[in-house]
Chains A and B, each alone.
Chain A
Amino acid sequence: MDHTVRIKKRITVAVAGNPNSGKSTIFNMLTGAHQHVGNYPGVTVEKKEGFCRWEDTEIRLIDLPGTYSLTAYSVEELIARNFIIEEHPDLVVNVIDASNIERNLYLTTQLIEMEVPLILVFNMSDIARQRGLVFDIDRLSELLESPIVQTVGTKGQGRDVLLQAIVETARRGRSSRVHRVRYGHEIEAELEGIESILKAEEPVLVDHYTSRWLAVKLLENDKAITSLVRSDHVRRIVVAAIARLRTLFAEEPEMIFAERRYGFISGACQEAIRNTVELRHDLSDTVDRVLTHRYLGLPIFLLFMYIVFFLTFKIGAYPMRWLEMLFGRLGTTVAALWPAGADSLPRSLLVDGIIGGVGGVIVFLPNILLLFLAIAVLEDTGYMARAAFVMDRIMHRIGLHGKSFIPMLIGFGCSVPAIMGTRILENRPNRITTILVIPLMSCGARLTIYALLIPAFFPPAWRGPMLWLMYIIGIVLGVICAKVLRMTLLKGETSHFVMELPPYRMPTFKAVSIHMWHRGWMYLRKAGTVILGISIVLWFAMNFPRVAAEDLQGMDNDHAAQVRLERSLMGRIGRAMAPAVRPLGFDWKVGTALIGAMAAKEVFVAQLGIIYAVGEADDHPESLRERLQQAYTPLQGFCIMLFCLISAPCIATVAMTRQETGRWRWALFQWTALTAMAYVITLIVYNIGALLLH
C-alpha cells in the first residue's frame, strides 16, 4: 500500500457516558446538529446519527442515551449498552462530567475493560474550574489508559482537539490494556482461571468481547452475557467461582467488583485531582430544601404551573390578536379580488377554507412558542427533576413513582415525545400505565383549543384559572386512571425509585431559543402541510354536493349558506351523528369538528373556522370567537374543552403508543377507553351543569 496517498476513511464513533453529562451537547458541537439537550437525566432515549469530517476521515457519530454502567435496567440504557457491546464502534467517546468525576468514571472502568479504543472527554470543565478542581491530565490519562480531552460543550471549546484525538485514536485501533483496575488476588485468580477456559472453549466470544471483560461479566452474574455462553463446562466453573467468592466475602461478587472499581477511582482521583477551593455550603442545597420540602413542594409546583400557563395565555393574547387581525385583513383583501356579491367557489376555498382553516391555527403560534419556551426553561434549569420528586408521594400512592412524572410534563408540550420518554422507566407495567395516561396531559395542540374557546366564553378574570383548571383536570384524571390501571390490568411491583437530581443551571438564551424556534417551526410546518391538506378536504366536504340554485330561491344570503352547508356531505354526516353528541350539549357542527380532531387536535380549531365561515354569507365582520359566543353557552364551551381534553388521542399519538408498547392492542385500548371516558364525563358535567344553571 502506498502510504503517501491519503486514503479516505470512514469511522463510526459512539458518544457514551452517564446521563446528563453532556453527550448530546458534544454531539451537536461536533456535527452541528440540534439534538435535544436538557438538564435532566434521560433526555436522549434513542440513538441518533450524525456526520462530520476531520482531515481525510469521515466520522459517523452516534449519540447514545445515557447509562451508568454496561448493565441495562431500562429500554434506553439497553439501546446504549447494545450499541457499545454488539455493534463494535471504531471508537467510543466517553463523555464525563468533570465536575462529578468519581461517579462518571465507574462506566469508564468498564469501557477500559472492554478494550475498545476510547477517548475520555472531560466535559463541563468550566464548572469543574469554578469548583476549584485542578486535573493532572497526563497522570489521569496514564491511569485510565486513554487520551483525555477537556471541553466546554455549551461553548464549543475543545472541538478541534477532540476531533484530532478521535482520528488519531481510531487510527491506532484496538489495543490491549494493562488493566490497572485490579480486584484483589482472590478475584484475580478466579478471573485468570475463567479466562483461560474461555479462551479454550469459547474462542468466538473471546474474539468478540475480550476474555477479561467476559470473565468479569460472568462473575458479576450478568444475565445477558451468561446466556451467550454455550459451554456447560464454563458455566459450571463460573457458578463454582461465584459460590467460592460469595462465601469468602459474605457478599455478592458483583458488589465486590463495584467497590473495587470505586476504590481504584478514588485512588486515581486522590493522586491526580487537586481541590483548590474549600467546599462551602452549597446554595443549591438550600434551594433544594425549599423546592423539595414536604409541605411546600407541591404548592410551589402548582403555583409555578399556574404562572406558566397564565403567562402563556396572557402574553400570548397580544400577538395572537395581531395575527388574527392580519389574517382577517388577508381574508378581506383576497375576497375583494372577486366582484362583490358574486358566489365564487375558488374565493370561498381560499378565504373560508385555507385562510379560515390554516390561518385559524397559525394565529396560536405565539401561545405555542411561549408554551415551549416555558417547557425549555423547565428542562434546562433542572426543576423538571424536582417536580418529579415532589410528585413522587402522589405517584407512589397510585403505584407509579416520581420518575413517571417527567414524561408527563413533556406531555404538556406534545404526547409523542412524551410517550417515547417513558423509556427511562425500568418497569414495564409502570411504563405502559404511564404511556396510557399521557394523552390526558393537555398538549400544545389542545392549548390552541383552550385559547380559542376560553376568551369566547369567560370574562377576563376567569380565564387564567379556567386554563389552569383544564390542565389540573387532566392531571387528576391521569392519576385516577393510573390507579385504576395498576389495580386491574397492570398489576405488579412498583419498581425501586432512584434518580439523579441534576444541578441547577441558568438556561442559556441560545439553548432555549433554539428549542422554542424548533417547536414553533414544527407547528408551522404542520399547519402548512397536514392542517392545510385537511382544511381543503373539509372545505370540499362542506361545499359538495352543491344545492341547486332553484332550491335556494327566496332565501337571504345567510339562510342560503346555511341550507347549503346542511345539505353538504359534512352536513349529512353531522346530522347523522347529531343524536350521539346532543346529550353532551354539542350541535352537529361541533360533532363533525370532533371527527377532524382525531387526525390532529388543531384540526378542531381549523374546522370550526371553516364551518362558521362557510355557513354564513361573506358580509359578516365578526370573528370566529364572536360567532362561537353567539352559538353556544359557557357551559357548552366548557364541555367542548373537556371532551377535547379527554377524548381520542391524535393519530401520531396512537402510532407512538403502538410503537413503544409493541402492540396495537394497547393503542386501541387507549383510544377507545379515553373516548368512552370523555363521553361519560362530559355527559355528566353537561347535564349536572344544565340542571344547576337553570
Chain B
Amino acid sequence: MDPSGLNPDKEQVKPLSKVKAGQTARVVRIEAGASANARLASMGLVPRTQVSMISNGHPGPMVVSVKGAKMMLGRGMAHKIMVCAASPQ
C-alpha cells in the first residue's frame, strides 16, 4: 500500500537537495525524525505540498518556496525530504 497517497513506483522519488533551481517538486515523505518533522510541518512542509527551488547552491544551503513563503533549508535537512516531480492536479 502506498501510505502517502502517491505512487512512488511510477514517479521517481529523490531527495529535495537534488532538485535544480527553477524546478518544482512535490513532497512525498519527510524522514527527519519526529521533532524536525513537526517543525517542518509547522512551517508548511508536509507531504503532498508543492515546493519550488529558488536557488540550490552546492554544497551549501538552499532557498525553497513553500505555500507562498520562502525558506532556507540546510543541505542535511534537504537530504531527508523526499520529493517527486510535481504533477499538475
Q: Is B70 an interface residue (CB 8 A)?
A: yes
A219-253 to B contact mask, C-beta < 8 Å, 1/0: 01100000000000000000000000000011110
29 A-B residue pairings within 8 Å (CB atoms): A71-B38, A99-B68, A102-B44, A103-B43, A103-B44, A106-B42, A106-B44, A250-B3, A251-B29, A254-B34, A255-B38, A255-B41, A255-B46, A259-B47, A289-B55, A292-B54, A294-B57, A294-B60, A297-B57, A385-B72, A393-B59, A393-B61, A396-B60, A402-B72, A494-B76, A497-B72, A498-B43, A499-B71, A501-B70
Least Cβ distance of B50 to chain A in Å? 11
Quick check: A288 and B54 within 8 Å, CB to CB? Answer: yes
Quick check: A497 and B57 within 8 Å, CB to CB? Answer: no
Enumerate the 7 nearest inter-chain pairs by beta-carbon distance, A residue then B residue, closest first.
A497-B74, A294-B57, A69-B42, A258-B41, A68-B42, A250-B3, A393-B60
Selected contact of A501 from candidates B32, B42, B63, CB within 8 Å: B63
Q: With the chains together, A388 CA to B65 CA distance in Å?
A: 17
Q: Would you call the interface of chain B mostly helix, strand, loop, or mixed? A: mixed
Q: With the chains together, A202 CA to B67 CA distance in Å?
A: 39
Give the most central of B1, B29, B49, B61: most A CB within 10 Å.
B61
Least Cβ distance of B89 to chain A in Å? 12
Quick check: B42 and A258 within 8 Å, CB to CB? Answer: yes
Q: Is A389 an interface residue (CB 8 A)?
A: yes
Q: Is B58 an interface residue (CB 8 A)?
A: yes
Give the most central of B54, B58, B73: most A CB within 10 Å.
B54
- Contact A250 to B1, CB < 8 A, known contacts A294-B60, A396-B74, A498-B72: yes
Quick check: B54 and A500 within 8 Å, CB to CB? Answer: no
Chain A interface residues toward B at CB < 8 A: 68-69, 71, 73, 99-100, 102-103, 106-107, 220-221, 249-252, 254-255, 258-259, 262, 285, 288-289, 292-294, 297, 385, 388-389, 392-393, 396, 401-402, 494, 496-501, 503
Least Cβ distance of B77 to chain A in Å? 5
Quick check: B46 and A258 within 8 Å, CB to CB? Answer: yes
Give the most central of B37, B43, B60, B66: most A CB within 10 Å.
B60
Q: With the chains together, A221 CA to B35 CA distance in Å?
A: 10
- Which B residues from 1 to 55 make CB contacts under 8 A with A? 1, 3-4, 21, 29-30, 32, 34-44, 46-49, 54-55
Selected contact of B70 from candidates A71, A73, A259, A500, CB within 8 Å: A500
Give the most central of B29, B65, B66, B68: most A CB within 10 Å.
B68
Quick check: A73 and B73 within 8 Å, CB to CB? Answer: no
Contacts of B41 in A (CB 8 A): 69, 106, 254-255, 258-259
Contacts of B49 in A (CB 8 A): 262
Selected contact of B76 from candidates A285, A289, A393, A497, CB within 8 Å: A497
Contacts of B61 in A (CB 8 A): 389, 392-393, 396, 402, 497
Nearest-neighbor residue (CB-CB) of A70 within chain B: B42
Quick check: B37 and A100 within 8 Å, CB to CB? Answer: no
Selected contact of A262 from candidates B37, B44, B70, B73, CB within 8 Å: B44
- Which B residues from 62 to 89 make CB contacts under 8 A with A? 63, 65-74, 76-77
Nearest-neighbor residue (CB-CB) of B58 within chain A: A294
Least Cβ distance of A304 to chain B in Å? 18
Nearest-neighbor residue (CB-CB) of B74 within chain A: A497
Least Cβ distance of A520 to chain B in Å? 33
Contacts of B60 in A (CB 8 A): 294, 392-393, 396
Give the most central of B47, B57, B72: most A CB within 10 Å.
B72
Quick check: A103 and B77 within 8 Å, CB to CB? Answer: no
Contacts of B76 in A (CB 8 A): 494, 496-497
Least Cβ distance of B53 to chain A in Å? 10
Q: With the chains together, A294 CA to B21 CA distance in Å?
A: 12
Contacts of A497 in B (CB 8 A): 61, 72-74, 76-77
Selected contact of B35 from candidates A73, A297, A401, A402, CB within 8 Å: A73
Contacts of A106 in B (CB 8 A): 41-42, 44
Contacts of B36 in A (CB 8 A): 496
Contacts of A288 in B (CB 8 A): 54-55, 63, 70
Q: With the chains together, A73 CA to B60 CA distance in Å?
A: 23
Contacts of A388 in B (CB 8 A): 72
- Contact A251 to B3, CB < 8 A, known contacts A497-B74, A497-B76: yes
Contacts of A102 in B (CB 8 A): 44, 67-68
Contacts of A292 in B (CB 8 A): 54-55, 57, 63, 72
